[in-house]
Structure 1
């Protein structure tokens, strides 16, 4: 019997939109990048937005290109970043999709009493964070009341594209958990959280189930891109962190991880939520993972800092540089490495990232910094060391909160290719770091799609496919 499948994994990040063709031969998944296009915020009327129609066009193009590479596309799944959403009325989407880097959510969180924050944590298992969807919802109600008055449904980012492709309304659970609107005990929408946000629970749709069919892609879309057969759209863990954590090639049920992308999501996979004072004090959060697992983690600064530095370096030099060459600039620095707090609020979205970092590591060089003279090797060496230290510090906290023993740390995502950060993390936490293939999110996406075709496969069987599919590189501690 032929068990081979051609599966399309859409991987939408803050900085790029990617289409990956994943071929399953019955034993392992081999992934091939089909299309990658840049993604960035747009600015209008003083707000940051995402250009959803443009992204949808890129996804359709990617699907068309994947269909040309394979005899047949058997199914599609999507993962994206968390928290952001779009509201709709009975006819269409309202307003554009606001980006979490706007401040209207932060304004709302700043008004919350500490007791309310504590109650919300115990109700949802989710840390009160300025980027959580609940605060943006309340901010929209205050700043854009006409939009909220007309709103009938909420679609998180992956749900938007599911709706565009299939016409089906649903909310995927891992993405939904980033809203801070789910009750951690019942995994249903919390009426108390809705009351705070000023919305009705009816704003939300049916919660999807991983490995189940959402619906087929609309015939008019398939005709538009030249595909004559039906393609199922499968519910996968649509928060990219949940997809990446699903694809960590560990033989253990519990493991430490860093999902290193624009953000670094640092934590452990757990069988169930961990909701107690120790977790609250440590500022950890319980997000929903694949097939009902929990990812206990902290949302920390990640490669956004490096992405901004690279763009600013290219602007200064007037030419493009590859990621390998840019990363290697740090190798030229042999002086003292001065670290900084990568989660300092001044780095959230500064006007000039390199200038802000210089002010933090070399305040005596303000005059040179003001003239735009930067020592790039020092800046990058300091940034990589600071990120590695941040990873290790948070992982140590997670170990204390779970009271578990772990053998190694897995790093997944685009940042897993940065050897300097990986080695620094291993040295600081004094544990081996295993850097996984950067396509973890897409492989996790594909493996959950496989569960749709093979409902008889156990969770352990699916994880066995992952172990057989991914390449890893090990970093042992040197200090």
Structure 2
């Protein structure tokens, strides 16, 4: 009998439950339930309503049972770095604070004035982002930490509520910037610096660990199928990379969603001087791999613009309007902190262009093209850096996630990077989540077989470079970044 698998895939703006089955050696995927997500101001901070998220998961499982699925396997992935503090009574102390909250604005600067960045990077191999868990804990309420029995990453906490069993899954734990690359454990010196201890984290486990069945008490409250929970690659990017088919030996990936995660898969971490200088990360992947990548501002910018335009335009509408606008009318450093959580993304983009004496985008199409063309420029710049750090030329780029559907962005990226782009699957995160479950339950032999099945099951579109179409645009953009916006666009 064909097993039924459920991927609970939760992002910053929405969550969904995706049903996966294997039929005729192909992966079949069906969205069964979707719900909205987001943070709100509560007790002075931007927080996630974690109880509401869990409630929505139960409602989704009820829908799945109503559709005739009595027995399922389930895995959970979410965004990284955020956590829940759990008290001695086994309950959350407060709703978790979002990584976009302003509390960590100066935390990295303060902490690294005492512990040098080079020291932290040598230990962890993790990039410096001011919202990493290390800096969140540095700013955490001392009173709350004193009450804390366990610190759980968001997907681990959800799994704990569902099953009663607590673990710390490594792909998400690595994003904390507190795991020691050499020891494979949380680093004591870094934990001491933020006033937490090793025993406050549940035991570390690898992706593919069986967590347990949903507790009996939840079956009394909701009409649920029999559900076995597998701890998958719980960081959504780790799942997305597993869901990328990979076309050759030297392939790169771009997980294109709210964030853009650009990198490659390594068997040995790369935390040398050049990687440190360029702020590349070595997040732990499933099955003994490392995700060597760079965090880049992603579709968050266009998501904000769409919302500010009262959702009058769909994402495909905005991409179509952008195609009617000449690209590269302005250069932007899309990773500038000012774009992380502005009051108005449209105003922030326009102010940035005024300050750098560039053409100010006004219309929806101009704003969309400004975002897409600068994302493509940033990607191309980072691919060049990746080649230098790795010591070999990457042969292809596999774009997965929602951004893989934006043809304009894919083509601009291929041309500027002079690299062949394979776009798809769009649902790579949910697919990667399912693949780990299927390997754990022996329906797939290994990740290589899983990726082959992905390639055979979903449409992958190819984009080839349009040679010399944009002249020295990338070089001028690189000069712009080096001079911090003081080069006027020609």
Compute the TM-score of the two structures, normalised by the length of structure 1. 0.92
Q: Following TM superposition, by how much is the alpha carbon of 1:70 offset from its aligned partner in structure 2, in angstroms? A: 4.4
Question: Which segment drifts farther, 72-81 or 104-113?
Answer: 104-113
Matched, 1:273 2:273: no
Kept after mapping to 2: 8 A contact 1:121/1:127: yes
Structure-2 residue corresponding to 1:124: 124
Structure-2 residue corresponding to 1:76: 74
C-alpha change, 1:382 and 1:214, in structure 2 (3 Å) is same
Q: Following TM superposition, by how much is the alpha carbon of 1:418 offset from its aligned partner in structure 2, in angstroms? A: 1.2
SS in 2 for 1:377: helix
Matched, 1:202 2:224: no
Kept after mapping to 1: 8 A contact 2:18/2:30: yes
Matched, 1:471 2:459: yes
C-alpha change, 1:348 and 1:248, in structure 2 (3 Å) is same
Q: List aligned pairs for 1:14-413, cutoff 5 A.
A: 14-25=12-23, 27-91=25-89, 92-111=91-110, 112-113=112-113, 116-140=116-140, 144-227=141-224, 230-252=226-248, 254-314=250-310, 320-334=312-326, 337-362=329-354, 374-413=362-401
Structure-1 residue corresponding to 2:436: 448
Q: 1:459 aligns with which of 427, 437, 447?
A: 447
Question: Which segment drifts farther, 418-427 or 327-336?
Answer: 327-336
CA–CA distance in 2 between the matches of 1:177 and 1:87? 18
After superposition, what is the alpha-carbon deviation per residue over 1:45-73, rounded to whole angstroms, capped at 9, x for unaligned?
Answer: 33110110111111111122122334334
Kept after mapping to 1: 8 A contact 2:207/2:234: no
After superposition, what is the alpha-carbon deviation per residue over 1:147-200, rounded to whole angstroms, capped at 9, x for unaligned?
Answer: 111111001010111011111111111000010111111211111111111111
Structure-2 residue corresponding to 1:429: 417
CA–CA distance in 1 between the matches of 2:446 and 2:51? 37
C-alpha change, 1:38 and 1:71, in structure 2 (3 Å) is closer
CA–CA distance in 2 between the matches of 1:336 and 1:348? 22
Question: Which segment drifts farther, 263-272 or 463-472?
Answer: 463-472
SS in 1 for 2:41: strand
SS in 2 for 1:66: helix
Q: Following TM superposition, by how much is the alpha carbon of 1:254 offset from its aligned partner in structure 2, in angstroms? A: 4.9
Unaligned runs of 5+ in 1: none
Kept after mapping to 2: 8 A contact 1:236/1:445: yes
SS in 1 for 2:323: helix
SS in 2 for 1:152: strand
After superposition, what is the alpha-carbon deviation per residue over 1:75-99, rounded to whole angstroms, capped at 9, x for unaligned?
Answer: 0001100000010111111121001
C-alpha change, 1:235 and 1:45, in structure 2 (3 Å) is closer
After superposition, what is the alpha-carbon deviation per residue over 1:131-161, rounded to whole angstroms, capped at 9, x for unaligned?
Answer: 1101111101xxx221111111001010111
Aligned CA RMSD, in angstroms, stands at 2.1
After superposition, what is the alpha-carbon deviation per residue over 1:431-464, rounded to whole angstroms, capped at 9, x for unaligned?
Answer: 1111112110111111100112118813322322
Q: Which 4+ stretches in 1 moved above 4 angstroms? A: 362-366
C-alpha change, 1:78 and 1:26, in structure 2 (3 Å) is farther
Kept after mapping to 1: 8 A contact 2:206/2:286: no
Kept after mapping to 2: 8 A contact 1:5/1:25: no
C-alpha change, 1:72 and 1:407, in structure 2 (3 Å) is farther
Q: Following TM superposition, by how much is the alpha carbon of 1:128 offset from its aligned partner in structure 2, in angstroms? A: 2.6
CA–CA distance in 2 between the matches of 1:334 and 1:459? 42
Q: Following TM superposition, by how much is the alpha carbon of 1:364 offset from its aligned partner in structure 2, in angstroms? A: 9.6
After superposition, what is the alpha-carbon deviation per residue over 1:87-135, rounded to whole angstroms, capped at 9, x for unaligned?
Answer: 0111111121001112322322111138621111100111232111011
Kept after mapping to 2: 8 A contact 1:6/1:72: no
Unaligned runs of 5+ in 2: 468-490
